[in-house]
A = this chain, B = another copy of it.
Amino acid sequence: MPTPQPAVVLLSGGLDSSVLLHHVAKELHCPAIHALSFNYGQRHGRELVCAAAQSRIVGTKAHRVMDITFMGTLIQAGSALIQGGAEVPDLDALTTEELTQPPTYVPNRNMMLLSMAAAYAEAHGITDIYYGAQAQDEYGYWDCTREFLERINAVLALNRKAPVTVHAPFVGYSKEDTVRIGIMLGVDFSQTWSCYRGGEEACGTCPTCVERLNAFAANHREDPIGYAG
């Protein structure tokens, strides 16, 4: 087994990246984790609060929040995930075309975030980046696929001095798998946030809420966060 290395973990504060953080710390035993979060003008700051909480629980070496709210201007109202963008639709209201690229898609988001994470890693002498792309994301996001990851790594491999590699260990897993791993690793799910809408409580009806609730049900667990209505 190779010696565990320091690592950068992309941590949104959502369910997937929170479980990933625990996996990198407790199963891969990385000695120094730099958690990176991005403030890109998302509808709620709640997930960033959860990211900070998970980072404290795991005992990361650093948790950095990159303020990239300029992206809101950059991509205007092109996405329902950004404040001022379109309304987030219910999962059952999505058309077939929207399922291919749903309105909650942010143009080129993952390439931007991974590029910045790679710059951060390189500047800190870290060669491994972990991010929480997983199977069910593939239904609508071209930038969560295995092929996307391979091509991103093909770019980064050209770096002559300090090539960085992006790993997505959950890419083959379903949300149900992720919840199961999280239970096994003792993740406090009350400190994770998934809802796409900006309410005080999770809505329970947007695509991410529905996926999350189904994943807990499949594991015969109750989701500890409260839902509206």
A→B interface (CB under 8 Å): 64, 66-68, 70-71, 73-76, 78, 100-101, 106-109, 111-112, 115-116, 118-120, 122-124, 142-143, 145, 147-148, 151-152, 154-156, 158-162, 164
Contacts and interface: CB of A to CB of B under 8 A. Distances in A.
Given A108-B119, A112-B119, A119-B112, A100 B68 contact: no
A156 to B, nearest CB: 8
B119 A143 contact: no
Contacts of A71: 116, 119
Given A75-B120, A112-B119, 6 more contacts: A75-B123, A101-B160, A108-B122, A109-B119, A154-B154, A155-B155
A119 to B, nearest CB: 4
A70 B64 CA distance: 11
Tell me the number of copies of this protein: 2
A162 to B, nearest CB: 8
Contacts of A124: 76
Contact of A108 (B107, B118, B154): B118
A76 B122 CA distance: 11
**From A106, A109, A145, A159, residue with most partner B Cβ within 10 Å:** A159
